[in-house]
Amino acid sequence: MGIDGIIRPELEPLVPYAPGLRASQVRERSGVDRVLKLSSNEHPCGPVPSALAAMRAVLSRVNRYPDGACAALKRKLADRLKVAVDNVVVGNGSNEVLRLIAQSVLRPGDEVVFAWPSFVVYPMVTAIFGATAVRVPLADGDVHDLDAMLAAMTERTRLAFLCNPNNPTGTIYGRDAFARFMERVPDHVLVVVDEAYFEFVTAPGYPDALEWFDGSRPLAVCRTFSKMYSLAGLRVGYGIVPEPLARAIDKVREPFNVNTVAQIAAYYALDDEAEVRRRRAENQEQKTYLYSCFDQLGISYARSETNFVYVRTAKPVEAFEALLQQGVIVRDFGTSPALRVTVGTPEDTERTIQAFEAAVAQLGTL
C-alpha cells in the first residue's frame, strides 16, 4: 500500500495554510530595505504595558507546565462577559477553538454552511472531519446573505460559521438580520459566530452575538487576543459555548494547549480598556484616510469594520507585485479579484498610499 495509501484521502484536496511572504523574501525580490508587512492583520502596536510586564515576570517559571485548565483566564473572561466559567473554553488561538468545535460536532456526511469568501479555516476544518462544505456566496456589498444561508441548510447541516466582521471583506451583517436568522435557524444546527475583529467595530447596528447566548441554545461565540490585543505571536483565543460542548472540547483538546506566557498576557491585557478605545479610534482614523486616498485613485473597496480593507481589483496578480516592488506586502488570494490591506500606524498609512499611487501609475488602473 505504501504511505500514500495510509494517509486519509479526505486530506488530498486540502492546501496547507500559506502565511504569506516574509520581509526577508520581499527584500530579496524588491531590493527595498524597509519592508511594510500588511498581510496578516497584526496590530502595529505591541502588547499593552501591563501584559508585557506580566510576561517578563513569568519567564523564569516556564520550566513548569502551564495551567492546563486556564482557570484564572477563564474566570476573568467569565466575569467580564457575564457568563458561567463552565461556558468558557480557551485555545491556542481562536483557530484551535474553531477546530475543536468542529472536531466535537462533525461526523462524515454532515454539512457545514458558511459564507464565501470568508475565513479559510472553515472549509479546512470541515474537510478534516469528513463533512461537506456548503459555500454561500456573499450578497451585494460583500456581506453575508443570511437568508441564503438559511435556505442552504438541510437535515444534514450540523454547523454554520458566521464571520462578523467578515474576513477578508471587513463587512458586517446587522442586528436585525442576525435576530431574524437566529429565530429561523433549525435547532439541530450549531451556529458558530467568529468575532475575531469585534473590538474594532464602530457601527451602531453591530450585533454582539453574546446577547443571544443563554447557555442552552446551540450557539458558540469565538474571539481572539491576536488582533486588538497584539498577542498574535502567543496564540490565545477563546470561545463561549454551551456547557456540554465545553465538556466535549475538553475531551479532545491537547493537554496544556495554551502556554503560560500566553495565559498571563491575555489575563492582564483585558485590564487596559482605555488602550482598546484609543486603538479603535486610531484605526478608524487611518481607515478613513485610506478611503479618501483610494477614492482619489479610483480604487474600489469595501467599507470595513476591522483593521484591514478589502480592495477590489481586476489585476490582483499585477497589483500585488507592483506593491511588492514598493516594499509593501498585502494579502493576495491568487487570481481572485481582491487584495486585503492591513491598517497600520499613521506612518504605515502614508507608505501604503505612496505604494498604491506607484502601483496605479505603473498599471494605469487597479
pLDDT one-digit tens code per residue, 184-230:
999 999 999 999 999 999 999 999 999 999 999 999 999 999 999 99
The verdict on 93 and 236 lying in the same domain is yes
Whether residue 100 sits in one domain with residue 230: yes
The answer to whether residue 127 sits within a structural domain is yes
Q: How far apart are CA 323 and CA 355, in angstroms?
A: 6
List the one residue out of 174, 161, 138, 194 whose CA is nearest residue 310: 138
Same domain, yes or no: 330 and 261? no
User: pLDDT above 70 covers what percent of the chain?
Assistant: 98
Locate cell 501609475: which residue? Answer: 361
Residues 203 and 319 in one domain: no
Q: Peptide bond before 117: cis, by omega within 30 degrees of 0?
A: yes
Position 44 in a domain: no
What is the average per-residue pLDDT within 259-263?
A: 98
In this predicted model, what pLDDT tens digit does every residue of 76-102 receive, in sequence order?
999 999 999 999 999 999 999 999 999
Cell of residue 319, nine digits: 497589483
Domain assignment present for residue 292? The answer is: yes
Q: What is the domain-level CATH number for residue 359?
A: 3.90.1150.10
Q: Which three cell numbers stand for residue 150?
A: 438559511
Task: Kindly state whether residues 333 and 358 are assigned to the same domain.
Answer: yes
CATH number at residue 124: 3.40.640.10
Residue 43 lies in a domain: no
Q: How many domains does the chain have?
A: 2
Q: Are residues 89 and 181 in the same domain?
A: yes
For residues 90 and 144, membership in a common domain is answered with yes
Quick: pLDDT tens for 315-343: 999 999 999 999 999 999 988 999 999 99
Domain boundary among 219, 242, 269: 269
Task: For residues 239 and 351, state if they share a domain.
Answer: no
Same structural domain for residues 175 and 58? Answer: yes
For the cut 90, the answer to whether the pLDDT of residue 26 exceeds it is no
> What pLDDT, on a 0 to 100 scale, did the predictor assign at position 10?
80
111 and 259 fall within a common domain:
yes
Which of 269, 304, 338 is a domain's end point?
269
Q: Is residue 123 part of a domain?
A: yes
pLDDT tens per residue across span 28-64: 666 777 889 999 999 999 999 999 999 999 999 999 9
Q: Which long-range contacts (CB under 8 A, 24 or more apart) does 280-286 make?
A: 280/199, 280/200, 280/202, 280/228, 282/346, 283/200, 283/307, 283/343, 284/202, 285/346, 286/343, 286/344, 286/345, 286/346, 286/348, 286/349
Residue whose cell numbers read 502565511: 19
- Same domain (yes/no): 178, 55: yes
Q: Domain of 177?
A: 49-269
Any domain includes 216? yes
Note whether residue 1 is domain-resident. Answer: no
pLDDT of res. 21: 72
* Residue 11 binned pLDDT confidence (cut-offs 50, 70, 90): confident
Kind of pairing between the strands at 338-342 and 328-332: antiparallel
Please indicate, yes or no, if residue 2 is contained in any of the structural domains: no
**Same domain? 247 vs 298:** no
**Segment 242-247 mean pLDDT:** 98
